[in-house]
Every structure is written in structure tokens, then in C-alpha cells.
């Protein structure tokens, strides 16, 4: 691909993957790094990402994913799960990472810590869950764009039963809940969707310059 925009024009939500084509270890690492480097509120990254290749697990997930074939045919299945509670312990662990990475005293972060905790831990459980889940969509956007630049196909998916995913993957006991799924791999030549023209709002309808 010559340009980033051309990469975005090329990508589409792949409906049928070639089950015989697998992503190389090198390209997979680039995709994982693109997710790791994603922006998140306060830099907290209140989520965990599961990279699933085990076909036994994926076959269990398919029936609770509206039976969609992408679940089992894609090279890799990415499940993004948000933390259901963001407490002081989690925030303190993040601040320790900041201190170690930037080589600054932990006590120098006290004011930032107090501010962050006052904003995050004051949220209700439902608000925390919603806030954390939203962060995963930033990760998803980075994954889709990075994959497109590598000519790797993706299909972002909300068509699944989160409670069933939580049970199959044991997420609840980990303090997590499945947010969004992405099938990643290579399009099948039989996928007619790849030939459809991309439909988006025209610029003059989508943007307002003030």
C-alpha cells in the first residue's frame, strides 16, 4: 500500500476468511504492538486482550457468536475485555510503572494519583464498566488500521453473547468482561463482500468546520 488512506480504502469487514492462510509471527507482533501502544484514558489501559488460536476454544465461541464463520476460520481471534472495576490498587500499579519507566520518584506522582483516583474510583460500577469498555474501541481502531497497512484482513464483531464469552474464557473471575471481538487473517477469494464499493458519508455531510 502506498498511503495510509489507500490502506483504509482497501480494508473492509471481511465476511469469509481463508482458513488455510495464517499471519506470520512477525506481522502478529506488529499487530499486538499496535494495540499495546494504543491511547487510553490517563494511560491506564483498563483492559486485557486475548489472542486465541486454539480451535477447541473457538468452536465453543462460534455458537455464541451468531454462528459466524469468521470465529473459526480467521488466522487469529482477538477478544478485547474490559476491567469491570478500576480500583486504587490497579491505579497504584500503573503509577509504579510510570515511576519505573520515566525514572521519577513515586511520591512525585501523588498529586496526579489523587486526581486520577478522585475521577475514576468515584464512578459507579456501571459507569466504570462503560468507561473501561470504551477504551477497547480505541485499541480496536488501532488494530484495524495497523492490519490494513500490512494487507491483513479484519472483521470487528459485536455480534456475540458477552456473558457466554465471559463464562467460556473464565473472564468474570478475572474481573473482566468481553467488550468486542476482532477476527484477523486473510480474505477468502469466495468472499463477495470484498468487491463491494465502500459506502461512507460524503465529506460535506460528515464534517462541520467552525
pLDDT tens-place string over residues 165-194: 999 999 999 999 999 999 999 999 999 999
Which pTM value belongs to this model?
A: 0.96
Q: Which has the closest alpha carbon to 81: 184, 157, 165? A: 165
Helix (H, G, I), strand (E, B) or coil at 143: helix
Phi and psi torsions of 8, nearest 5°: -70, -35
Q: What distances in angstroms separate CA 54 from CA 8, 29, 74, 90, one per listed residue?
A: 29, 18, 12, 30
Contact criterion met (CB below 8 Å) for 135 and 82: yes
Q: How does 115-132 read in b/e, with b if 16+ C-beta sit within 10 Å?
A: ebbeebeeeeeeebbebb
CA distance 190 to 192: 6
pLDDT at 2: 66
pLDDT beneath 50, residues of the chain = 1
CA distance 186 to 172: 32
pLDDT at 1: 47
Question: What beta strand segments (E) does the chain contain?
Answer: 47-52, 76-83, 153-157, 176-185
CA distance 24 to 26: 5
Contact criterion met (CB below 8 Å) for 138 and 180: no
pLDDT at 145: 98
Q: What is the CA radius of gyration of the chain?
A: 19
pLDDT at 120: 96
Amino acid at each position: 500500500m502506498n498511503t495510509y488512506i489507500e490502506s483504509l480504502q482497501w480494508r473492509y469487514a471481511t465476511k469469509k476468511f481463508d482458513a488455510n492462510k495464517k499471519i506470520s509471527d512477525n506481522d502478529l507482533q506488529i499487530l499486538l504492538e499496535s494495540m499495546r501502544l494504543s491511547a487510553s484514558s490517563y494511560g491506564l489501559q483498563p483492559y486485557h486482550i486475548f489472542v486465541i488460536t486454539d480451535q477447541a476454544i473457538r468452536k465453543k465461541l462460534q455458537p455464541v457468536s451468531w454462528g459466524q464463520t469468521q470465529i473459526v476460520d480467521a488466522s487469529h481471534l482477538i477478544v478485547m475485555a474490559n476491567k469491570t472495576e478500576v480500583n486504587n490498587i490497579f491505579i497504584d500499579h500503573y503509577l509504579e510503572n510510570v515511576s519505573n519507566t520515566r525514572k521519577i520518584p513515586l511520591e512525585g506522582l501523588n498529586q496526579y494519583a489523587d486526581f486520577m483516583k478522585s475521577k475514576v474510583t468515584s464512578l459507579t460500577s456501571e459507569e466504570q464498566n462503560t468507561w473501561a469498555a470504551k477504551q477497547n474501541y480505541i485499541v480496536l481502531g488501532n488494530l484495524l488500521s495497523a492490519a490494513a497497512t500490512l494487507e491483513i484482513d479484519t472483521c470487528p464483531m459485536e455480534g456475540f453473547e458477552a456473558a457466554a464469552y465471559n463464562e467460556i474464557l473464565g473472564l468474570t473471575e478475572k474481573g473482566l468482561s468481553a467488550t468486542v471481538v476482532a477476527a484477523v487473517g486473510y480474505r477468502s477469494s469466495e468472499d463477495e463482500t470484498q468487491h463491494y464499493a465502500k459506502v461512507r458519508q460524503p465529506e460535506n455531510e460528515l464534517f462541520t468546520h467552525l
